[in-house]
Amino acid sequence: MAIEVRIPTILRSYTGGAKVVEGSGDTLADLLTDLDSRHAGLRARLVTDAGALHRFVNVYVNDEDVRFLGALDAKLNDGDSVTILPAVAGGAFGFAAAAAIASHAVAARATAAR
Amino acid sequence: MLSIDRSIIDAIVAHARRDHPDEACGVVAGPAGSDTPTRHIPMDNAARSMTFYEFDSMEQLRVWREMDDRDEEPVVIYHSHTATEAYPSRTDVSFAGEPGAHYLLVSTREPDTEEIRSFRIVDGVVTEEPVEIVDAAVDPHAVQSYMFGQSPATVDYECSDR
């Protein structure tokens, strides 16, 4: 089954410059493994060593942020469209503290969305 | 070098002043490949913080799709620092994910003057660039003499020494 994946500029070095690639998988994790078999290195830019989705990217299934769909466990169907964007964030604060606040904020929003 | 219209800079500074002491953030879109910022899009700071900013992920998806539909790209990504200088923090560098964008920083720590600086951030390397503010309303042929380093329609900000 085919799922369309939109690749941001910063990751197109892994797709030979392609803006859109196709892949397959029942979950986002499966899809990223499938993509990595043809676009080696792409998965490592999206998934941390600990096996979580990276803070530096936003991944969407159709019109929904996957953080609200179970992140890497998000279910995929034939014909879905996956969009990857660089997260735009920063600020004057130190990185560790900012990341802690951000992950707290994401968790709070995910709770609120339930 | 970032070349940007004065009306857009004024709108960015107004946004930063309005949200002070929280950090403000946004995008200036322009035609793909033109390196010319033309459409100012103030974004919500989802973090609503004095020391951190973050685009709301759903607003970002809408805006990025709209740019795609209009054959535009994010030429400028801006945010404010409200108590420190307009220089990218380690956090800014860690997150910088648009290698083609000009990262514009505005410091609002002084109430009467703004510090406006622009940077390229590629693979973790920060390079400052001059900012040329273009005054589209002025006819460049109307003025016949001007001081060295100035032209009637532009003001050039050189990089600060660091």
> Do the Cβ atoms of B60 and A88 come within 8 Å?
yes
- Distance CA(B81)–CA(A108), nearest Å, equals 25
* Range name among A35-44, A101-110, B41-50 with the lowest pLDDT average: A101-110
What homologous superfamily does CATH list for A3-88?
Beta-grasp domain (3.10.20.30)
Task: Give the residue from chain A lying closest to B89, CA to CA.
Answer: A92
Q: Distance, in angstroms, between B111 CA and closest chain A CA?
A: 18
Q: Is the peptide bond before B21 cis (omega within 30 degrees of 0)?
A: yes
- The model's pLDDT over B62-77, given as tens digits with 9 standing for 90+, comes to 999 999 999 999 999 9
Q: Could you report the per-residue pLDDT of A34-73, keeping only the tens digit for each? A: 999 999 999 999 999 999 999 889 999 999 999 999 999 9
Contact B100 A102 (CB under 8 A): no
Inter-chain touch A88–B54, beta carbons under 8 Å? yes
Show the domains of chain B with their CATH numbers.
2-132 (3.40.140.10)
Domain map (residue ranges) of chain A? 3-88
- pLDDT given at position A102: 58
Predicted complex: ipTM over 0.85: no
Q: Which long-range contacts (CB under 8 A, 24 or more apart) does A77-81 make?
A: A77/A1, A78/A1, A78/A2, A78/A3, A79/A1, A79/A2, A79/A3, A80/A3, A80/A4, A81/A3, A81/A4, A81/A5, A81/A6
3-class state of residue A11 by DSSP: helix
Tens digits of residue pLDDT in B81-124: 999 999 999 889 988 999 899 999 999 999 989 899 999 999 89
Closest chain B CA to residue A105: B47
